[in-house]
Amino acid sequence: MNDTLAGWLQALALIGALALSYRPLGDYIAHVLTTPKHLRAERFLYRLGGVNADVDQRWPVYLRSVLAFSAVSVIFLYAFQRLQSHLLLAIGMKAVPPGTAFNTAASFVTNTNWQSYSGETTMGHLVQMAGLAVQNFVSAAVGIAVVAALIRGFTRKRTDRIGNFWVDLTRVTVRVLLPIAFVFAIVLVAAGAVENLHGVHEISTIVGDKQSITGGPVASQEVIKELGTNGGGFYNANSAHPFENPNAFTNWLEIYLLLVIATSLPRTFGTMVGDKRQGYAIVSVMALIWVASVVLVTVNELHSVSSTAGHAAGGMMEGKEQRFGIWASALFATSTTLTSTGAVNSFHDSYTPGGGGMTIFNMMLGEIAPGGTGSGLYGILILAVITVFVAGLMVGRTPEYLGKKLGSREMKFASLYILTTPAIVLIGAGTAMSLRGERANMLNSGPHGFSEVLYAFTSAANNNGSAFAGLTVSSDWWNTALGLAMLFGRFLPMIFVLALAGSLARQQPVPVTTGTLPTHRPQFVGLLSGVILIVVGLTYFPALALGPLAEGLH
Amino acid sequence: MSSPTTLEPPVPTGGSRGPSGHRVTGGLLDPKQLLIALPDAARKLDPRVMVRNPVMFVVEVGAVLTTLSAIKDPSVFAWVITVWLWLTVVFANLAEAVAEGRGKAQAETLRKTKTDTVARRLGDWKPGAAAPREEEVPAASLSLGDHVVVEAGQIIPGDGDVVEGVASVDESAITGESAPVIRESGGDRSAVTGGTKVLSDRIVVRITSKPGETFIDRMIALVEGAARQKTPNEIALNILLASLTIVFLLAVVTLQPFAVFAGAEQTIVVLVALVVALIPTTIGALLSAIGIAGMDRLVQRNVLAMSGRAVEAAGDVNTLLLDKTGTITLGNREAAEFLPVGDVSVAELADAAQLSSLSDETPEGRSIVVLAKERYGLRARAEGELPHAEFVPFTAQTRMSGVDLDEDGDRRSLRKGAATAVMQWIRNNGGHPTQEVGPMVDSIAASGGTPLVVGEVVQRGGESTATVLGVINLKDVVKAGMRERFDELRRMGIKTVMITGDNPLTAKAIADEAGVDDFLAEATPEDKMALIKKEQEGGKLVAMTGDGTNDAPALAQADVGVAMNTGTSAAKEAGNMVDLDSNPTKLIEIVEIGKQLLITRGALTTFSIANDVAKYFAIIPAMFTSVYPGLDKLNIMGLHSPTSAISSAIIFNALIIVALIPLALRGVRYRPSTASQLLSRNIWVYGLGGLALPFAGIKLIDLIIQFIPGLR
């Protein structure tokens, strides 16, 4: 089978598998988020935490719960890393330095999973399992909880209650993430990923050199790394490492896992608002952008060969695993940058300017196509709100989305949301570029060097976590700056989303008439896609012009 | 139609409704208005005023920065940009000043009516009291509850209700309608407005408003825009525009470190130019003009909106409550057909009906005469033409009219009137209405008509025969074109409900004929109120018209309450709009104007943002081709030089504001249709148009300005 056919088959099988999962998984999550029944295990957890699971929260309380939970998580994770040498299963790892510990804590709690360290030489097994892997689950669950609150804002009327964070968090973790992760961890192990509690093995290679190989609970962490759109690898090489991602099948499976929840959530949305067409419209926009991006990256990598090594290989193979080739790498790169996952099976720094530029642009879109677990859906819903506002004015009515009016209060929160991430990216990159010392951490000079910095802040602020590589980010300045970018990039938008949910829930819905802007038709799909591209394009065009565009246009 | 002190009458040109649809338009923009508004526009440059418009404030700050920069390092380019930035701000102010200027002119004519009227205050007026004490005081010193007397030729000193007497009043000062109206004590025609003139008779008026808060004072404030507050949608849009402005500001400010790294540090002038080109100046400049012009379009149709909020709400209305009489049907019922009984021929019946109606001066009576003439060629005979005829005029007591004819000693009496009255008359004269009359009468009533019976008594010798000749069907006549209007409204997603005092059967018949969606029969003010509340509970916005005092609570409850100017002051107080023409059909136009206002804002926002794409393609290559020559590929317009490219973008940005002022004032084209169709059309015109137009515009300007020596 040649590469092209294999590439097509992989992509089509992926789309088919996602399409098959859309209905059952989306409806199941909707059921989990709406059913009044608690599981016995959940009841036990609620009793343990002193949570009254049958009482819904007002939006400020919901927000406070999100923030408190996350703050405790950051502190716990920080302390865990600092104290790891005193704990079990440290496999000889020393305490993580403060800068890295803060950055990592922020990174895993915000579902970014940016890694300024090498997993196999920094973290012991206990930190990996009880610290990082736990955050992989709950940070993904927090995203889904927040979008659940936003959806309730649309579905509920005349109430100040938007759900109970503790219930959402627990149910999503226990009923959605854990079971799926369990099943697929076994599949991964069966397919060749590693799962053990071994320490470092010293082995001699054929040529007589010494090599240290770290074992560990890899498969179990790998599965939630993708499923929860986290992306923090057990090993530094991430999904390019053969223990994490041994072969073409696991590669395909990992891409499927990192897309499956985010692409099914629009169904959850459609089901919960009682109009499944709304879900189809949203998922169509996601699919449109994803397909366009896959095509652009693949074509660029196959044809716009930009290095001598690339010419020799007949395609841009630099930085890509021989096991996966260009097609599977491009598919992985697009999916990981469009989902806020940030796991990588190839190095984006070595992509062509066009392909690498697309990976930056993918993240700049705000992680919405399909985006992170939960965060992708709330991100695209906010953009839908902006679209409906402008388009709604054009049909001569006070704009309304799903029967809820978009007045000044709603627009305030939506505007703040779309303002936040660009502000963090641009201010961060701008500051870094004006500091001579920090700038020196780039591997390359010229536009490519600038792309590395732009990529780092884009990745952090959008909670993606993938690295362009090339940039050295282990200094205190970078650890702190990117750590803050991740925290602000995660929680400021959540504040606005929950505030918006609160103000939507309070409204009495307006009945739908022929004078109402329909938000389920191809017309709206096209319009929303256009607004996303234009708003993002206009915001980042100058920066992109000096990075990938300057590099790519000769 | 107009007198020296009128408002502009509704503009028939451009507002005409063709068969292929119609559009709401405003007046045309006279270039002279731009000149007149210039001083006002310059005055608005005051930063304390500008800061209320964040987008244009950023432009002004930018203009100051480039001015300083141009003074420090003078160059043709710096000065071109500086001058055009200032022009951008001035153009924005001009748009607002022109919009306000139109209102000011109207306010001026209104103010002329506020002469120093002298009021004749009655000291202790009581109903029926004879010759109360009278004193002359200035109108400004009247207080609530005072009674004043006004006689023919005098100006009414303040708003109030007539409590004694009846008079004809010239209200042209506020309505522009020179035909006098009748105002009388009691009932729904008792309100008088200060500044209007009594033409005949004498009335006593109880003052209901404080000086300075009269209707005319409020009108002046409204048309001048003094009372203008930002409407909810305008605030929401402003928030979006402000946040876009911040995003673009950030994008440009952070661009400098990137540029420095690339070795292409940019001047202040270029950075400011980029910011101004990107932030949504087009809509920012025109936003308040659009709002003012929307109110103005209402004023041109003789509707006064008490707040911009009400105009916006009009665009959102889901349900229209329309009074049957005067709105859906013509004011009066008209004869529609003659239905003979037994052997009587239609022609005989028509003749008898006409003869018996000659002395009936009510509109219904006249319509019978007309129908007989038009359908049966029976000329209306003058009363003198029938020498031996004795006419019996219609009275409310007898409920009949008729004629007694003496023909060769025989006496033939004809009567036409309410069914019960005529049947009773027949019985009194010894006749018996035949079996078929009863069902005929009932079926007409059931179909929504009013049955009138025509009877005849012939006395020949000593004998008299009384017979019923037939029945006349009086019907409500639905105004022409109403069904089409309601179909249009339905396409716009608006439900129409007819309100009538008729019984449900009648109401249903008329509702079906007119094509309204629903009706409320035997409506009391309480029913009306309950209906509004029910609709509102479902999240719907309700609009209605009303004039009587008993309409006041419903008018206040409705989201858009249009009070008729002929109505009581309670009604005018309760509504949030007043229609000076007192034409209830106008409610439909008000809804359209509300929608048009929002569409104009949305369309220009889309246009403004879409424009940015072309500006990027002009400015970014101009900034960086020196260091990254490859970026010249982005110069797809093939602009002459970096300086000419940036200047062209800025000049285009300024000129497009002026070019769109007429559109902002007039409002974009609006055709009632579904939301999908409207959106498609507006995306094509303003979205894609906004994407494409600047490419052509900037290229064109570049072709011209490349010859300016300093820009090569």
DSSP string, A372-401: STTHHHHHHHHHHHHHHHHHHHHTTS--EE
- Looking at the DSSP bridge assignments, the partners of residue B392 are B402
Assess if residue A14 is contained within a domain.
yes
| CB-CB under 8 Å, A539 with B493 | no
Q: What is the mean pLDDT of residues A444-462?
A: 90
Assess if residue A369 is contained within a domain.
no
DSSP string covering B661-699, please?
Answer: HHHHHH--------HHHHHHHHIIIIIIHHHHHHHHHHH
DSSP string covering A49-68, please?
Answer: HT--TTS--BHHHHHHHHHH
Please tell me if residue A29 touches chain B, with a CB cutoff of 8 Å.
Answer: no
Nearest to B121 by CA among B141, B109, B136: B136
C-beta atoms surrounding B279 within 10 Å: 27
pLDDT band at B3 (very low <50, low <70, confident <90, very high): very low
d(CA A45, CA B388): 107
Query: Residues 613 to 632 of B: which have CB under 8 A from any A CB?
Result: 613, 616, 620, 624, 627-628, 630-631
| CB-CB under 8 Å, B237 with A433 | no
pLDDT of B472 strictly over 60: yes
pLDDT at position A200, please? 79
Residue-range definition of the domain harbouring residue A211? 3-269
Which of A232-241, B175-184, B409-418 has the lowest average pLDDT? B175-184
Assess if residue A521 is contained within a domain.
no
**Average pLDDT over chain A, rounded to an integer:** 91
SS (H, E, C) B31-83: HHHHHHHHHHHHHCCCHHHHCCCHHHHHHHHHHHHHHHHHHHCCCHHHHHHHH
CA distance B317 to chain A (A): 8
d(CA B370, CA B480): 19
pLDDT of B563 strictly over 90: no
- Looking at the DSSP bridge assignments, the partners of residue B162 are B205
Six-digit token string for B636: 């797809």
pLDDT at position B232, please? 86
pLDDT digits (tens, 9 = 90+) for B309-328: 888 888 889 898 988 877 78
Q: Between B581 and A167, whose confidence is greater?
A: A167
Partners of residue B540 in chain A, C-beta under 8 Å: 510-511
Which of A453-457, A539-543, B27-31, B99-103 has the lowest average pLDDT? B27-31
Q: What is the mean pLDDT of residues A303-309?
A: 68
pLDDT band at B538 (very low <50, low <70, confident <90, very high): confident
Q: What is the mean pLDDT of residues A64-75?
A: 96
Q: How many domains does chain A have?
A: 2
pLDDT at position A266, please? 97
Q: What value of ipTM does the predicted structure carry?
A: 0.93
C-beta atoms surrounding B115 within 10 Å: 10
**Average pLDDT over chain B, rounded to an integer:** 84
- Integer angstrom CA distances of residue A240 from A188, A200, A296, A306: 15, 20, 22, 22
- Looking at the DSSP bridge assignments, the partners of residue B311 are none
pLDDT digits (tens, 9 = 90+) for A4-63: 898 999 999 999 999 999 999 999 999 999 999 999 999 999 999 999 999 999 999 999
Please tell me if residue B674 touches chain A, with a CB cutoff of 8 Å.
Answer: yes
pLDDT above 90 covers a percentage of chain B that reads 29
pLDDT at position A399, please? 92
- Quick one: which H or E segment has residue B403? strand B400-407
pLDDT band at A121 (very low <50, low <70, confident <90, very high): confident
Query: Counting beta carbons within 10 angstroms of the beta carbon of residue B46, is it exposed (0 to 12), middle (13 to 18) or buried (19 or more)?
Result: exposed
Query: Counting beta carbons within 10 angstroms of the beta carbon of residue A24, is it exposed (0 to 12), middle (13 to 18) or buried (19 or more)?
Result: exposed
Assess if residue A495 is contained within a domain.
yes
Task: Residue count of chain B, please give it.
Answer: 712
pLDDT at position B211, please? 73
Partners of residue B602 in chain A, C-beta under 8 Å: 390-395
Q: Name the domain boundary from A216, A243, A269.
A: A269
pLDDT band at B209 (very low <50, low <70, confident <90, very high): confident
Q: Between B473 and B492, whose confidence is greater?
A: B473
Q: What is the mean pLDDT of residues B166-184?
A: 77
pLDDT at position A176, please? 96
Please tell me if residue B240 touches chain A, with a CB cutoff of 8 Å.
Answer: yes
Nearest CA in chain B to A398: B316
Please tell me if residue A277 touches chain B, with a CB cutoff of 8 Å.
Answer: no
pLDDT of A506 strictly over 90: yes
Q: Which residue has the tokens 């696991």?
A: A250
pLDDT at position A30, please? 97
pLDDT at position B141, please? 80
Q: Between A411, A527, A541, which is nearest B240 by CB? A: A411
pLDDT at position A86, please? 87
Among B323, B351, B476, B702, the one annotated catalytic: B323
> CATH number for the domain including A456?
1.10.287
CA distance B660 to chain A (A): 17
pLDDT digits (tens, 9 = 90+) for B226-261: 556 788 888 999 999 999 999 999 999 999 999 998
Partners of residue A542 in chain B, C-beta under 8 Å: 251-252, 255, 258, 274, 616, 620
Q: What is the mean pLDDT of residues B659-685?
A: 89
C-beta atoms surrounding A304 within 10 Å: 16
pLDDT of B17 strictly over 50: no
pLDDT digits (tens, 9 = 90+) for B421-458: 888 898 888 888 777 888 888 888 877 788 899 998 98
Please tell me if residue B258 touches chain A, with a CB cutoff of 8 Å.
Answer: yes
**What is the rounded (10 degree) CA torsion for B177, B178, B180, B186?**
30
Assess if residue A150 is contained within a domain.
yes
pLDDT above 70 covers a percentage of chain B that reads 92
pLDDT at position A498, please? 97
Query: Helix, strand or coil for residue A541?
Result: helix
- Quick one: which H or E segment has residue B370? helix B363-376
pLDDT band at B13 (very low <50, low <70, confident <90, very high): very low
| CB-CB under 8 Å, B601 with A393 | yes
Q: What is the mean pLDDT of residues B158-174?
A: 82
CB pairs under 8 A between A and B: 209
pLDDT at position B16, please? 35
Assess if residue A517 is contained within a domain.
no
Partners of residue B248 in chain A, C-beta under 8 Å: 538-539
CA distance A502 to chain B (A): 17
Angle between helices B482-491 and B586-624 (to 10 degrees): 40
pLDDT band at B103 (very low <50, low <70, confident <90, very high): confident
| CB-CB under 8 Å, A386 with B539 | no
Q: Terminus-to-terminus CA distance in chain A, angstroms?
A: 36
Q: Between B239, B257, B606, which is nearest A433 by CB? A: B257
Which of A95-104, A127-136, B86-95, B126-135 has the lowest average pLDDT? B126-135
Specify whether the CB–CB gap between B282 and B607 falls below 8 A.
Answer: yes
* Residue B323 designated active-site: yes
Q: Terminus-to-terminus CA distance in chain B, angstroms?
A: 61
Assess if residue A314 is contained within a domain.
no
pLDDT of B28 strictly over 60: no
Query: Residues 178 to 237 of B: which have CB under 8 A from any A CB?
Result: 232-233, 235-237
Please tell me if residue B599 touches chain A, with a CB cutoff of 8 Å.
Answer: yes
pLDDT of B689 strictly over 60: yes
Q: What is the mean pLDDT of residues B115-140?
A: 76
Interface test with B, best of A156, A382, A393 (most B CBs within 10 A): A393
Partners of residue A389 in chain B, C-beta under 8 Å: 236-237, 240
Torsion sign, CA atoms B167, B173, B175, B177: positive
pLDDT of B682 strictly over 90: yes
| CB-CB under 8 Å, B670 with A407 | no
pLDDT of A83 strictly over 80: yes
Assess if residue A346 is contained within a domain.
no
Q: What is the mean pLDDT of residues A353-362?
A: 90
C-beta atoms surrounding B447 within 10 Å: 17
Q: Name the domain boundary from A247, A269, A291.
A: A269
Q: Name the domain boundary from A248, A269, A290.
A: A269
| CB-CB under 8 Å, A545 with B262 | no
Query: Residues 504 to 543 of A: which have CB under 8 A from any B CB?
Result: 508-511, 513-518, 521, 523, 527, 530, 534, 537-543
Q: What is the mean pLDDT of residues A94-102?
A: 91
| CB-CB under 8 Å, A543 with B255 | yes
pLDDT digits (tens, 9 = 90+) for B582-618: 777 788 888 888 899 999 999 999 999 999 999 999 9
d(CA B91, CA B97): 10
